[in-house]
């Protein structure tokens, strides 16, 4: 192994505790970044970092994973902070033997203009599409809505000039952001989590008894998993769906974030608070118990790449309904994909599933087979190939 360092740009806002340890509430922790060690000896995570209390999981818990901090800028109105941010980027791009950008995101795409002038080899992991995700209706952020078109252009340029590119989809994102070099596709999901979810699916589908909803008078139990820091996951749409189907469904929501209180108040205004339960952030073991207990998984997102929560639900043998964003059409048949924001369509699909245990079981079996096929396609280590090719591009 050559003594090479790769710098990976992430969008998460990290926290530095009083002892200097770096923490995250997102999926990108030390275990996530260990996957990049092999072709590279060291991983340096480039992210916005602010001081605060320890919470979530450590990012720098592995001896070969460290963090290169950027100022934690929250608003383009803070001009002085933006000046410090730009100066920090200029300094940061001088380091590392190779870089990996993971767009879409403001951090990756703000680093790109400086990185391209450095002539360092870089790869791109395309994990989503700002075309839909940065619209005002999806982000509720004036800054992101304003920057959407220039950022799409920057993302296309970065992907077109990358030494290597990976996509979380097999077709959708490739059409929008064609690469200029070698490419592959894989998900950033932990395959071990999918294997555990498949065990749940085997138990669900191995039993011929109805799993949760046992008759026409028993409410259908729906599950939604998603963060609540921004309105991307469409939890408001799910609440309106419960109102539309009041008495026929209940909703379990797993996840947390700054908007949780808003959603709880919305459920009360819609007079369905007693039908919607907010569980907060759960361990994966706790989530597996919910995957085993509910009838249907819904994901009315406004922005996705290849949704990890949807993959896990499908692996667990659940019938699923999701919105037409990112790569969801690569996972689900057209009948179970609905337009973004379409409460009526979502309610219609849920109602159709609720009418037949046999239909739900058949759809769940089909979903589990799709995940089996995906896992088989990842067996040839596409991420390893991506990293080895990027390392070979280093002088």
Burial of residue 153, with CB atoms counted within 10 A of its CB: 0-12 exposed, 13-18 middle, 19 or more buried: exposed
Domains held by the chain: number: 2
- pTM value is 0.84
pLDDT one-digit tens code per residue, 89-120: 999 999 999 999 999 888 998 899 999 999 99
Query: Which range of residues forms the domain containing residue 42?
Result: 5-189+380-392
- Domain match, 372 and 385 both: no
Q: What is the mean pLDDT of residues 258-283?
A: 96
pLDDT exceeds 60 at position 269:
yes
Phi then psi dihedrals of residue 357, to 5 deg: -65, -40
- Domain match, 178 and 222 both: no
- Contact at 8 Å (CB) between 318 and 297? yes
Within the chain, what is the greatest distance between any pair of CA atoms? 67
- Domain match, 98 and 144 both: yes
- Domain match, 96 and 209 both: no
- Domain match, 244 and 149 both: no
- Contact at 8 Å (CB) between 336 and 321? yes
pLDDT one-digit tens code per residue, 157-180: 999 999 999 999 989 999 999 998
Rounded Cα gap, residues 114 and 7, in angstroms: 14
pLDDT one-digit tens code per residue, 307-349: 999 999 999 999 999 999 989 999 999 999 999 999 999 999 9
- Domain match, 210 and 220 both: yes
């Amino acid at each position: 192994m050559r003594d090479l360092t790769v710098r990976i740009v992430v969008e998460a806002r990290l926290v530095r505790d009083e002892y200097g340890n770096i923490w995250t509430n997102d999926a990108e922790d030390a275990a996530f970044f260990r996957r990049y060690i092999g072709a590279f000896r060291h991983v340096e995570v480039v992210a916005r970092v602010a001081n605060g209390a320890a919470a979530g999981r450590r990012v720098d818990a592995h001896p070969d994973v460290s963090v290169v901090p950027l100022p934690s800028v929250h608003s383009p109105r803070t001009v002085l902070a933006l000046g410090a941010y730009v100066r920090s980027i200029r300094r940061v791009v001088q380091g590392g033997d190779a870089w990996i950008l993971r767009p879409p995101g403001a951090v990756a795409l703000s680093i790109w203009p400086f990185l391209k002038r450095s002539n360092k080899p870089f790869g791109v992991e395309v994990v989503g599409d700002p075309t839909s995700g940065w619209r005002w209706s999806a982000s509720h952020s004036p800054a992101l809505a304003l920057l959407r078109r220039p950022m799409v252009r920057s993302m296309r340029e970065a992907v077109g000039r990358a030494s290597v590119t990976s996509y979380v989809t097999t077709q959708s994102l490739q059409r929008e952001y064609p690469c200029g070099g070698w490419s592959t596709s894989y998900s950033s999901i932990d395959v071990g989590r999918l294997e555990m979810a498949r065990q749940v699916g085997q138990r669900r589908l191995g039993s011929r008894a109805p799993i949760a909803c046992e008759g026409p008078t028993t409410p259908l139990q729906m599950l939604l998993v998603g963060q609540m820091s921004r309105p991307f996951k469409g939890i408001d749409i799910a609440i309106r769906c419960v109102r539309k189907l009041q008495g026929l469904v209940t909703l379990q929501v797993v996840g947390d974030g700054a908007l949780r209180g808003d959603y709880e108040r919305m459920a009360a205004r819609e007079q369905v608070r007693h039908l919607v339960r907010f569980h907060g952030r759960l361990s994966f073991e706790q989530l597996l118990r919910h995957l085993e207990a509910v009838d249907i998984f819904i994901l009315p997102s406004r922005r996705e790449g290849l949704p990890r929560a949807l993959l896990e639900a499908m692996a667990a043998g659940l019938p699923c309904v999701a919105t037409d964003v990112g790569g969801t059409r690569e996972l689900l048949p057209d009948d179970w994909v609905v337009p973004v924001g379409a409460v009526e369509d979502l309610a219609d699909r849920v109602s159709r599933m609720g009418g037949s245990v046999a239909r739900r079981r058949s759809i769940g079996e089909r979903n589990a087979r799709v995940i089996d096929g995906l896992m088989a396609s990842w067996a040839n280590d596409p991420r390893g190939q991506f990293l080895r090719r990027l390392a070979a591009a280093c002088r």
